[in-house]
């Protein structure tokens, strides 16, 4: 079976690795592509020079297709677009910006383009911009997120009503059962973030990986809704933000509390106290750090078993 | 195929109708039970006398099993427990309270007991109280909700790790595909609320039913988190609450804004401007008002088709 997503990107399984800042370098991206998924280098935390280096190392470490994730609001995004074209990257995932800006240029160079959204309105805009696929991200997803708080369970069937293009579901997916559930709800493939943070190959700091493994239900929170909403582990920093938000602190006050560099401090440098630790709710079922190949093999095995089990259930009408 | 939930309650399909205040009287409960699901009378908005009348009318209108939903914090709950025992009701769903208080007494009278929770901690407490089934309600559900904001997609597999008793998933479920997805994630059955509000037989005011049909993505919000969180349609009243919350208004100020009787005003009397309109995010895919029998038949048909389609997908490893 090849889903539309597998065919589109020429990959074995319709599993896309989230292009997460500070966690998704060449090592993670090449491991995911080698294991049959689509690896993405997260350009949002790289200078253009560093990205070029990561693209080259990824090419050295896999002969499979891989992509680059580009947040369009990132200050270097124009330069990064030029690099991915020059370097012959085959797939680009864009987010946080207008998909009309770069999609025609990228497609002109034969690059497949997916765009990340959190509601039907922007999914329709992405479809109108003629992207090749649309990522729809639910409220439970880690990192930056939509303001409407629509969950994966609601988002997939709702967006599916309006969109004919291939849909990639993100948020809450870390297992074969959740991949199957997402596809039943109407997705053509899945994007998985949190599960890959806790892999041997992710560039997350070991402290952060251990924090993901330790995280349970209720341990993450969608904070900073007055700025750009972001789902974080409720560490000391996040708790300070929650307290400030309950008191009704302003955008300016919250911006000052946030300061700069907290995402790097938390996820890359391992400051669990003062850093931003971006992770999804589904960290509640992530209980180990393992190699990417094992993660993907386990997901596919569980998918096949769940599919087989459900095939025995049928209701008489 | 009979799931554990179907066997437990002696029903055809593992579909439980949410026992929603102001919407779930004898007409809805008996229609759901007649159509093969489990109908529940919502006692939380009834005086003991009125509940007795609804139980008797339900008995007159179905020979199938039905139940009563009792929020344990409700001031009449002790009296209502006595009524359901005296009236020979076979099933009780409890919520918002300690499951240990009444479960032994109810079970002594041969009544099956399910308890509603929003996280693993309280699911384990309910299991320890020896309830017969546990309802786990995700963040996307309408009405009163948990504080941890765990979504259905995350909640089902997370709670399943800890619980052997039958699990009923609630929140975001309004179609056969979502029922199948919930069961793949680990549920034994589903509880459906919003879809039944927009049925011919619900006692919701016609204005409210139309508002549910009109609601789209992003049109609901989990408000009043400083009191008891409740998911509402963002009408004028809800918008006032949101504004007050952003400003950091206190529990006392919010309580005063809420006042009394807004749920009845909105859902039963049809005041779309000033009333509380409790509904789930999945109202985004509810586009019509139809008879309960059609709702359930359509869900089962879609479930069977989706199950059949997915049985053709298998990945080679």
Please tell me which of the candidates A151, A301, A306 has its beta carbon nearest to residue B151: A151
Is A289 contained in some domain?
Answer: no
Q: Would you call B172 an interface residue with chain A, using a CB distance cutoff of 8 Å?
A: yes
Is A140 contained in some domain?
Answer: yes
> Do B158 and B222 belong to one domain?
no
What is the b/e burial string over A124-159, where b = at least 16 CB atoms within 10 angstroms of the residue's CB?
ebbbebebbbbbbbbbbbbbbbbebbbbbbbbbbbb
Q: How many domains does chain B have?
A: 2
> Do B45 and B187 belong to one domain?
yes
> Do B183 and B249 belong to one domain?
no
Whether residue B314 is predicted with pLDDT greater than 90 in this model: the reply is no
Query: What's the whole-number mean pLDDT along residues B78-104?
Result: 97
What domain range includes position A213? 206-281
Q: Write down the pLDDT at residue B157.
A: 98
> Do A132 and A235 belong to one domain?
no
Whether residue A317 is predicted with pLDDT greater than 80 in this model: the reply is no
Write out pLDDT tens, residues B172-181.
999 999 999 9
Distance CA A61, CA A27 (A): 8
| Single residue among A170, A203, A236 that ends a domain in this structure | A203
The mean predicted confidence, pLDDT, of chain B is 96
Whether residue B291 is predicted with pLDDT greater than 70 in this model: the reply is yes
Is B37 contained in some domain?
Answer: yes
Query: What's the whole-number mean pLDDT along residues B70-80?
Result: 93
Answer whether B149 sits within 8 Å of A185, measured CB to CB.
no
**Which residue of chain B is at minimal alpha-carbon distance from A246?**
B248
Is A294 contained in some domain?
Answer: no
pLDDT higher for B312 or B87? B87
Whether residue A277 is predicted with pLDDT greater than 70 in this model: the reply is yes
> Do A199 and A213 belong to one domain?
no
Query: Which tokens in the block code for residue A215?
Result: 């995280």
Query: Which tokens in the block code for residue B256?
Result: 């005063």
> Cα dihedral angle (A76, A269, A258, A211), rounded to 10 degrees?
120
Q: Write down the pLDDT at residue A214.
A: 98
Answer whether A181 sits within 8 Å of B181, measured CB to CB.
yes
Whether residue B292 is predicted with pLDDT greater than 90 in this model: the reply is yes
Distance CA A67, CA A306 (A): 30
- The two most distant CA atoms of chain A are separated, in Å, by 62
Packing angle of the helix pair B152-160, A176-185 (nearest 10 deg): 150
Q: Write down the pLDDT at residue B316.
A: 81
Query: What's the whole-number mean pLDDT along residues B131-138?
Result: 98
> Do A217 and A197 belong to one domain?
no
The mean predicted confidence, pLDDT, of chain A is 96
Residues of chain A neighbouring B150 (CB-CB closer than 8 A)? 140, 217-218, 281, 284
Query: What's the whole-number mean pLDDT along residues B68-94?
Result: 96
Cα distances (Å, whole numbers) of residue A59 to A27, A66, A83, A85, A112: 11, 9, 14, 14, 17
Distance CA B182, CA B116 (A): 16
Whether residue A224 is predicted with pLDDT greater than 90 in this model: the reply is yes
Interface of B with A in 140-169 (CB under 8 A): 140, 148-155, 157-158, 161
Interface of A with B in 8-27 (CB under 8 A): 12-13
Q: Would you call B101 an interface residue with chain A, using a CB distance cutoff of 8 Å?
A: no
Residues whose CB is less than 8 angstroms from the CB of residue A135 and which lie 6 or more positions away in sequence, other chains included: A16, A93, A95, A114, A115, A116, A117, A167, A168, A169, A170, A191
| Single residue among A203, A218, A242 that ends a domain in this structure | A203
Query: Which tokens in the block code for residue A156?
Result: 């997939």
Answer whether B151 sits within 8 Å of A155, measured CB to CB.
no
> Do A53 and A9 belong to one domain?
yes
> Do A17 and A134 belong to one domain?
yes
Is A311 contained in some domain?
Answer: no
| Reported confidence tier of residue B2, pLDDT bands at 50, 70, 90 | low
Write out pLDDT tens, residues A146-182.
999 999 999 999 999 999 999 999 999 999 999 999 9
Residues of chain A neighbouring B314 (CB-CB closer than 8 A)? 1, 304, 307
Whether residue B257 is predicted with pLDDT greater than 90 in this model: the reply is yes
| Single residue among A150, A168, A203 that ends a domain in this structure | A203
> Do A183 and A223 belong to one domain?
no
Query: In 10 A of CB B249, how many CB atoms?
Result: 17
> Do B123 and B229 belong to one domain?
no
| Reported confidence tier of residue A1, pLDDT bands at 50, 70, 90 | low
Is A92 contained in some domain?
Answer: yes
> Do B151 and B134 belong to one domain?
yes
- State whether residue B232 is helix, strand or coil: strand
Query: What's the whole-number mean pLDDT along residues A38-51?
Result: 97
Is A287 contained in some domain?
Answer: no
Q: Write down the pLDDT at residue B1.
A: 53
Interface of A with B in 268-307 (CB under 8 A): 280-282, 284-285, 297, 300-301, 303-304, 306-307
| Reported confidence tier of residue B315, pLDDT bands at 50, 70, 90 | confident
Interface of B with A in 206-265 (CB under 8 A): 216-218, 221-222, 226, 246-249
Answer whether A157 sits within 8 Å of B175, measured CB to CB.
yes
**CATH number of the domain bearing residue A34:** 3.20.20.70
| Reported confidence tier of residue A314, pLDDT bands at 50, 70, 90 | confident
Is A298 contained in some domain?
Answer: no
Distance CA B31, CA B39 (A): 7
Distance CA A171, CA A149 (A): 12
Whether residue B58 is predicted with pLDDT greater than 90 in this model: the reply is yes
Residues whose CB is less than 8 angstroms from the CB of residue B256 and which lie 6 or more positions away in sequence, other chains included: none
For the whole model, what pTM was predicted? 0.97
Whether residue A263 is predicted with pLDDT greater than 70 in this model: the reply is yes
> Do B163 and B125 belong to one domain?
yes
Q: Write down the pLDDT at residue A2.
A: 60
């Amino acid at each position: 079976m090849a889903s539309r997503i597998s065919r589109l990107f020429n990959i074995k399984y319709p599993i896309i690795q989230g292009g997460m800042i500070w966690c998704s370098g060449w090592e993670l991206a090449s491991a995911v592509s080698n294991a049959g998924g689509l690896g993405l280098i997260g350009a949002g935390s790289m200078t253009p020079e560093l990205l070029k280096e990561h693209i080259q190392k990824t090419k050295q470490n896999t002969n499979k297709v891989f992509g680059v994730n580009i947040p369009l609001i990132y200050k270097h995004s124009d330069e990064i677009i030029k690099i991915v074209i020059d370097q012959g990257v085959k797939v680009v995932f864009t987010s946080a910006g207008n998909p009309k800006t770069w999609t025609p240029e990228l497609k002109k160079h034969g690059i497949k383009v997916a765009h990340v959204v959190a509601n039907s309105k922007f999914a329709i805009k992405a479809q109108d911009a003629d992207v090749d696929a649309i990522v729809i991200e639910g409220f439970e997803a880690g990192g930056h997120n939509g303001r409407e708080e629509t969950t994966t369970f609601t988002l997939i069937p709702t967006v599916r009503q309006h969109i004919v293009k291939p849909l990639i579901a993100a948020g809450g997916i870390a297992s074969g059962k959740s991949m199957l559930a997402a596809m039943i709800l109407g997705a053509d493939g899945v994007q998985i973030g949190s599960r890959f943070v806790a892999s041997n190959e992710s560039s997350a700091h070991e402290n952060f990986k251990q924090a993901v493994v330790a995280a349970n239900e209720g341990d993450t929170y969608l904070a900073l809704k007055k700025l750009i909403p972001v789902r974080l582990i409720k560490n000391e920093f996040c708790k300070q933000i929650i307290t400030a938000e309950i008191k009704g602190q302003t955008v300016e006050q919250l911006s000052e509390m946030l300061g700069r560099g907290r995402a790097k401090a938390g996820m890359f440098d391992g400051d669990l106290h003062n850093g931003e630790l971006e992770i999804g709710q589904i960290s509640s079922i992530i209980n180990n750090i393992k190699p990417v190949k094992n993660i993907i093999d386990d997901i596919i095995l569980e998918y096949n078993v769940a599919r087989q089990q459900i095939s025995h259930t049928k209701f008489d009408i």
